A and B are shown apart, each in its own frame.
Chain A
């Protein structure tokens, strides 16, 4: 293709948007609406999962040992725990450290009248889980170790978090699939109507000897531009609205600030930006490409 033809095609693609203002606006509005809903859904689901994950990462299993367990054996058990796949982190607290912590939190450093450390034999490992769903298997394994006296864990919280996480993943996947199917349908329809109106223009081009490529290229460029504009608008809206919504939620639900750990707008956009652009431009490309093809047989 000659450079002049390339520029001509690009120019026609741009002009096409203005020539068919109403069709272009309708298409852009459809893409914007669909991708805005997609973006909001994505941000909500990602944050929800992040909150659940944060809650999971704060959940731990604590193990205590019998009095006669040697330090060497405790260290050996610590090493065995660390290499377990269910474990993300292990924190050892000696009897002295445990007592010091109790003094600071309960007595504000004023714990007098205790001649010796009442928690001398309370060495423990606080074990953080890589996945809360694996808590059961870890607890079963820990129970099999003879030197362990006691295991502290919350079965119901782990089950609930694990369940919520799974349900959110399935619901989100389902909603995204439905939303995408609806988007593709709506956008294709809008593009189809817009191009059908221009059937006569396509016929004239074909009668005077234009190739399919020459007829199709400006429409495809137009479709891709509409897709790009339609996907940029919701991204800009979400970008500016996101922090405001997060700040509002944190102010309104200040009591839950420990739990409400939101993702940054940068983290959300690292996926949302390319996915939205690819979807918008891709739908614009496919919609116009396929629709023009139907009208080329002249």
Chain B
């Protein structure tokens, strides 16, 4: 067995035992002030749908940044898909991130490119042949309900439509994990629900979905696993949980 094969098997075993995402006593201290995360331990299994809730400063965004390897933990270990992310060399980070689809509150689309180009971009970076891109992009745009708007520029779309483009971009490479950081934060209730339904469908198709949100109605209605954070610590972790107020 080659070394590469051995590593792959080890990672698969780790995912099986500890989950797709595994944090073990993770703390993150910025240069000044109190820790943003304080001894967080967490397992997220393959195929789960998890809400992470909590008020501003609870450590949700820091957690997402650690999973993306934008930051490294001050203490403890972060494992994503069997990778110890702190040990990933810089040159391997892009390849690692291709396993994670990411959706932001502010959509973060390339403003000067149209819908098709924004989604195709995710395929270009993994060097998918143009022929396949022409097949894959319309298919994913149809999944998110934007088949007819592939020529539109982001500013010609509503907030909900822009978030769908961001979703299509995050999903086109078939990531194992979808991280959504306040995906409904800039949307009206109708669009918020539509996005949540899409995320649910994506999860049903096998993708692990982690959603950071403030949206109480959605969290309470979806009946999914809810992890509540407060001042850098997990205060509750419940299957089919509810949004717990800080007060």
Contacts and interface: CB of A to CB of B under 8 A. Distances in A.
B112 A207 contact: no
A214 B125 contact: yes
A201 interface: yes
Contact of A208 (B70, B102, B112, B127): B102
Given A4-B130, A298-B70, A208 B124 contact: no
B7 interface: no
Contact of B129 (A1, A4, A212): A4
Given A201-B110, A206-B94, A211 B102 contact: no
A205 interface: yes
A119 B70 CA distance: 96
Q: How large is the interface on B (under 10, 10 to 19, 20 to 34, 35 or more residues)?
A: 20 to 34
A207 B124 contact: no
Contacts of A209: 94-98, 122, 125-126, 173
A207 B112 CA distance: 18
B136 to A, nearest CB: 14
A236 interface: no
Q: Main secondary structure on chain A at its contact with chain B? A: helix
Contacts of A212: 94
A207 B68 contact: yes
B110 A208 contact: no
B102 A2 contact: no
A5 interface: yes
A200 interface: yes
A277 B110 CA distance: 33
A46 B166 CA distance: 59
B108 A207 contact: yes
B164 interface: no
Interface in B112-160: 112, 121-122, 124-127, 129-130
A22 interface: no
Given A19-B112, A201-B110, A298-B70, A208 B121 contact: yes
Contacts, number: 52
Contacts of A201: 110
Given A201-B110, A298-B70, A208 B130 contact: no
Given A4-B129, A8-B124, A211 B108 contact: no
A272 to B, nearest CB: 37
Interface string A1-38: 11011001000000000010000000000000000000
Nearest to A204: B108
Contacts of A210: 94, 125
Nearest to B101: A208
Contacts of B129: 2, 4
B225 interface: no
Q: Among A2, A8, A209, A298, which residue has the most Cβ atoms of chain B within 10 A?
A: A209
B77 interface: no
Contacts of B95: 209
A205 B113 CA distance: 13
Q: Which of B109, B122, B125, B173 has the most CB of A within 10 A?
A: B125
B68 A208 contact: no
B169 interface: yes
B96 to A, nearest CB: 8
A211 to B, nearest CB: 5
Interface of A: 1-2, 4-5, 8, 19, 200-201, 203-212, 214, 298
Q: Give 7 closest A-B pairs by Cβ, nearest first.
A: A209-B98, A209-B97, A210-B125, A211-B94, A209-B94, A19-B112, A204-B108
Given A209-B95, A210-B125, 14 more contacts: A2-B129, A4-B127, A8-B124, A200-B108, A201-B110, A203-B108, A205-B121, A207-B68, A207-B97, A207-B102, A208-B170, A209-B122, A211-B125, A214-B125
